[in-house]
Amino acid sequence: MTAPLTPERILEAAEDVLRRHGPAKANVVDVARALGVSHGTVYRHFPSKQALREAVTRRWLDHFHRELEPVGDLREWLRTLFRLKRERALSDPELFATYDALLDEASGVVDEHVAWMEAQIAELVGDPGRARAILQATTRFHHPAHAGEWDDPEIEADLERVLDLVAPE
């Protein structure tokens, strides 16, 4: 007997399909096939391919949010953000590349994520304008466009130098 079909099971299957096929080739039929159901059944939970892809992206970003919310020090928060994104990029490059592509499609989800990061930093520094500047100044260490730089042996030293500028101890 199989477990009941839930949005979470669909998202897990979608993530696996995206990992195997990439965002250009993965589709709802592939997700349904992986679950042993019809694509119509998947559409009952997610009204479109775009809605499913946005939900996968939101699920991925929520992981970062849960890891970062308890961090109460700006320097440690930024280090943790970098560590989490770099771990994903280096340990599962196919899926990270998929998320990078999905981020381009899911601008609303990305906007929510950026707003969430700015709010978290603002809470830590007490100034929304400064929070935005800090987020922008540290882009190299969290934006997927820079993932190719994250295996540089000097990247952590570079992060510490930027932290000295934006969050002096």
What gap in Å lies between CA 111 and CA 107, rounded to an integer?
6
pTM metric for this prediction: 0.89
Nearest Cα neighbor of 109 from 45, 47, 65, 43 is 65
pLDDT band at 6 (very low <50, low <70, confident <90, very high): very high
Give the tens place of pLDDT for each residue, 47-89. Answer: 999 899 889 889 988 998 999 999 999 999 999 999 999 999 9
Q: Are 4 and 10 in contact (CB under 8 A)?
A: no
Residues with Cβ within 8 Å of 92's Cβ and at least 6 positions away in sequence, in order, are 19
What gap in Å lies between CA 158 and CA 169, rounded to an integer?
16
The domains located in the chain, with CATH, are 1-47 (1.10.10.60), 57-166 (1.10.357.10)
